[in-house]
Structure 1
Amino acid sequence: MCRILHVQEPRPDVLVHVGENLRRLRRAAELSQAALAAASGVSRRTIINLEAGEANISLSGLDKLADALGATFVDLVTPPSAPTSRIDATAWTGRHPDSRAVLLGSTPARSEAQLWTWSLAPGDRYDAEPDPDGWHEMVYVTRGRLLIERDEGPARVAEGDYAIYSSAQRYAYVNDAETTTTFVRNVIS
């Protein structure tokens, strides 16, 4: 799930458990920070700072770390004892206070499925990086309208409508309307 984590103060609560979980999972895998950096493509400095609770990282970076550890994104961001069916953690905030993404929950799929709620204030956007082949998204607009800019061409999704597409391409969510747009997003891998 390659997404850019755009962080403004305060930092999203999805990062609260990353440092502890990353250290625990890395040690369980018997990997040094340098070995994890080599396996994940995430810099050793970022791993050191994440474990110290002093760094932000893109959501795609968390996916890379999880993959290198044989874990899931949800394994990295939730308290070890929490049920994954109800996570309710803010993972992204935009420039405007009404723009945010909340990871609601997750359930197993081939690898993982995630349920999110999003809101985008007028004029705000979220730019994503391509996911691995085989990943998909399902987006359902609950209020307003959403423009999804994709490599394969744009999709305009009106209130009450949805789009399903491969997320193994560059894409962006754009609110070019005059009111806040809200939508539900499922990520399936």
Structure 2
Amino acid sequence: MTGGEGPDVLASVGANVRRLRAASGLSQSELATAAGLSRRTIVNLEAGSANVSLSSLDTIADALGATFVDLVLAPAATPERIDALLWRGNSDDSRAVLLGSAAAHHEGQLWVWSLGADDRYDANPDPAGWHEMVLVIAGRLRIESENGDVTLELGDHAVYSSAQQYAYVNAGSGVTRFVRVVLS
């Protein structure tokens, strides 16, 4: 988490690392060795004062038998709606925000979609365990599903099981564009 993420994220990461480390029965020194980091880094991370790289968090998660999301998820957040600023660059325009997460067992597919005015795409259910993540990059998108409809505005996202009947509907007057990630 390089450069300027908020103290709330650091506090959540610290608490999650401390909780997961204790649950795994590792000391701070043992975790540091397993992750290839210094004990001081683990101590500072658990105190909410360390600023480590995203790749170091991956390494720590692996050493704990956890996922990256397990480490960064705030207490009130869900994997479907994480919305955590995890990196800032030197410019105010440089930032990385983790929006959401879903488990994948086999494959991830990245798509760019567009729907013209009054258009829709009706999908058949995917196998159990499949998920989709959608991020609207232009227009408005309504996702109609058995679990309820949701309308996404520009910049909004959704994470949901695609093992159900669902449809994409252009909910605006112009072209709607969105990024779609399929996880199987």
What interval of TM-score do these two structures reach, taking the shorter chain for normalisation?
Answer: 0.5 to 0.7
Distance verdict in 2 for CA 1:100–1:48, change over 3 Å: same
Structure 1: unaligned runs, 5 residues or longer: 116-139, 144-182
8 Å CA contact 1:86–1:104 kept in 2: the answer is yes
Name the amino acid aligned to 1:6: T
The equivalences for 1:150-165 within 5 A come to none
Residue 14 of structure 2 corresponds to: 19
Structure 2: unaligned runs, 5 residues or longer: 111-134, 139-177
Aligned-residue offset at 1:110: 3.1
1:41 to 36, 46, 54: 36
Equivalent-residue separation in structure 2 for 1:111 and 1:35 (angstroms): 32
The equivalences for 1:61-76 within 5 A come to 61-76=56-71
| Higher radius of gyration, 1 or 2 | 2
Aligned-residue offset at 1:11: 3.6
% same residue:
61
Distance verdict in 2 for CA 1:80–1:71, change over 3 Å: farther
Distance verdict in 2 for CA 1:111–1:16, change over 3 Å: farther
TM-score, reference length from structure 2: 0.55
Q: What is the RMSD computed on CA atoms of the aligned residues? A: 3.4
1:98 to 93, 96, 109: 93
TM-score, reference length from structure 1: 0.54
Equivalent-residue separation in structure 2 for 1:18 and 1:91 (angstroms): 11
Task: State whether structure 2 residue 2 is matched by structure 1 residue 6.
Answer: yes
